[in-house]
Chain A
Amino acid sequence: MMEKSEALQYKENGKTRKSISYGKSGLIKKSIIFIILSIVSFIFLIPFIWMLSTALKSPSELVASTTSFIPDELVWSNFLDALNAAPFLGYLGNSLIVSVSAVILAVFLNCLAGFAFAKYNFKGRDVLFIIVLCTLMIPVQITMIPNFYILKQLDWLNTYAGLVIPRTAEAFGLFLARQYILSIPNSLIEAARIDGAGEFKIFYKLILPNIKPLIGVLIIFNFMWRWNELIWPLIVVSDERMYTVQLGLAMLKGEHYVDWTQLMALTTMSIIPIMLVFLFFQRYFIKGLVTSGMK
């Protein structure tokens, strides 16, 4: 990959001397860039293609002495077999419940707290905010041992509550929310207050409608984080009925022997939901990143 990019710089370098705003050489330059982008994006797609190709191979072709990129015959039944072999639909259901409820809770609570941190002067605000900021750098792994016992005390092991609630205090989300809400003019809030609006009404009627792009970003981020998370479910869940998709996949790899056609079929199915979210909200996502992530 490195070599490619070096070659690319070199090419660009050699080309550009002549390329100052003359249409023809500009076209050549664009074609070269286009070709480079095509090649690199094909490389980026290879793992996906390989995953699909494996998922559709017959087990005997998989371990055949010659490895082929395109399966001889497409064995769609791998997907069904995989679903039968592992309670994957259950995992999917768990992941959906966890991700969706975590998104709702986290986005709501982060915006609310972000609003407070951005627009109120209250005792302890800065200290609290710095504490929150510090936790941005702290991985779950540092706290996982005590957390395990705290969850036990709350009787939250193997529950959705245990999977969702501790992860709603997402420092990054809170940070984003505060930064974004800071840019809303104070005069708007003052005006609303003079009109007699209560504090929650201000949040509900004034702030929320003004931070829609932020909410979009937070929804996608939170969904992605929760959907893709391994370590937290690994700590919280021991009962197979509560497995999330990622946990299920990681555990399947640990079985006595792995049927890679089925494993890749399941991996494919685990990626589909998050890809859908991404494709649907792509615009929103990138737009949101521009406006909020860049402070």
Chain B
Amino acid sequence: MSFKNFTQKNSHKIAPYIFIAPNIIVFMVFMIIPILFTFYIGMTEWSILGTPEFTGLNNYERMFSDPVFWRSLVNTFYYTAGTVPFSVFLGLLGAVLLNQKKIPFRPFFRAVFFAPVVVSMVAAGLIWTWIFNPNYGLANIIYSYFNVESVNWLSTPELAMPALILTTLWLRIGYSLVIYLAGLQAVPGELYEAAEIDGANTWQKFWKITIPMVKPTTTFVAIMEVIHGFMVFDLIYVMTNGGPGFSTTVIVQYIYQKAFTEGEMGYASTLATAFFFIILLLTLIQLRMGREK
């Protein structure tokens, strides 16, 4: 009885704990604890069949002298740098065009641009692998039309990453476009009218009004795209598996490869730990930048 009284009296104090409990428990069990475990396993040598053997910092030594690790970091940045500016800029451009008044079929265009966003990376990867196929693919038709020799995008070291970036742009531009469309709604029309009276042309209006006014949107979109860029896995798993050579091996895929294909749980965890701290660093930088703004 007294317990019941207590709970009733203090329900607004207890309630939030109950409300967050399921979420927090899942977070703890499948996020926080695994991260801590990853730190530990990273200091062991562990092939799946045996038991983990503590080796201290040996794995880190190995990591620093592992050229593929560095390569995968470079590739991760390459991929991110190759996708983020384009999808942000093209998304904005598309949104500006779509935002013109009285463009016919506007909802249709919007739907078409956004449709790839809901397609899974696996499906997109398959479709584009097939498009890029040098022997039977769509690229073939285009090549024969222009009478150039066929290029094997996914098997040429210099071209594989651009091919992945192209695929990503198809997948992601719609996302930034839709968010920009929303952001543009918030720009007051009077600003443009005032600028027109001052004789500004469209280009000036775009640079002087649109871009500054959608800056918060740009920050948001850029962050989302960077997150996406750093975590890309499915697309590469399906399209190149990190090849040719290691030219599209990104860090996340390298971790997966080490852990689940080669069974080196220990070293893979070392890589995961390193990646964790890289992300932490980036997040801190982002927060700092957000605060300055």
Interface residues of A (CB under 8 A from B): 1-2, 5, 8-9, 12-13, 15-17, 19-21, 29-30, 33-34, 36-37, 40-41, 44-48, 50-51, 54, 62-63, 66-69, 109-110, 112-113, 115-117, 120, 122, 125, 128, 131-132, 134-139, 141-147, 149-150, 165-166, 168-169, 174, 193, 198-200, 203, 224, 227-231, 234-235, 246, 249-250, 253, 260, 263-264, 267, 270-271, 274-275, 277-279, 282, 286, 289-290, 293-294
Contacts and interface: CB of A to CB of B under 8 A. Distances in A.
11 contacts: A9-B203, A16-B201, A51-B127, A63-B136, A117-B20, A146-B41, A174-B23, A230-B122, A263-B126, A277-B118, A289-B182
Given A37-B97, A142-B272, A294-B220, A20 B196 contact: yes
Interface string B191-211: 000001001011100000000
A87 to B, nearest CB: 17
Given A48-B115, A169-B27, A294-B179, 15 more contacts: A5-B90, A9-B203, A33-B97, A34-B105, A67-B140, A113-B22, A134-B283, A143-B35, A145-B37, A146-B37, A146-B41, A228-B121, A250-B238, A270-B120, A289-B178
B34 A146 contact: yes
Contact of B100 (A30, A144, A264, A293): A30
B138 interface: yes
Contacts of B227: 136-137
A69 B282 CA distance: 45
Nearest to B205: A16
A2 B169 CA distance: 11
A165 B30 CA distance: 9
Interface size class of B (residues with CB under 8 A): 35 or more
Provide the main secondary structure of the chain B interface.
Answer: helix
Nearest to A278: B118
A271 B171 CA distance: 13
B112 A44 contact: yes
Contact of A150 (B27, B34, B275): B34
Contacts of B154: none
Contact of A230 (B38, B108, B237, B273): B237
A29 B203 CA distance: 13
Contacts of A69: 138, 141
Interface of B: 11-13, 15-17, 19-20, 22-24, 26-27, 29-35, 37-38, 41, 86, 89-90, 93-94, 97-98, 100, 102-105, 108-116, 118-124, 126-131, 135-138, 140-141, 144, 166, 169-170, 174, 178-179, 181-183, 185-186, 196, 199, 201-203, 216-217, 220, 227, 230-231, 233-234, 237-238, 252, 255-256, 259-260, 265, 268-269, 272-273, 275-276, 279-280, 282-283
Nearest to A61: B136
Contacts of A132: 23, 27
A67 B16 contact: no
A122 B272 contact: no
A282 B181 CA distance: 14
A289 B138 contact: no
Contacts of A199: 11-12, 15, 19
B103 A286 contact: no
A67 B220 contact: no
Given A113-B19, A166-B30, A290-B182, A12 B120 contact: no
B33 A150 contact: yes
A253 B126 contact: yes
Given A44-B170, A278-B118, A267 B141 contact: no
Q: Is the interface of A mostly helix, strand, loop or mixed?
A: helix
A142 B201 CA distance: 49
Given A117-B20, A168-B23, A278 B120 contact: no
Contacts of B201: 13, 16-17
A116 B19 contact: yes
A249 B123 contact: yes
A47 B170 contact: yes
Contacts of A36: 97
A282 B113 CA distance: 12
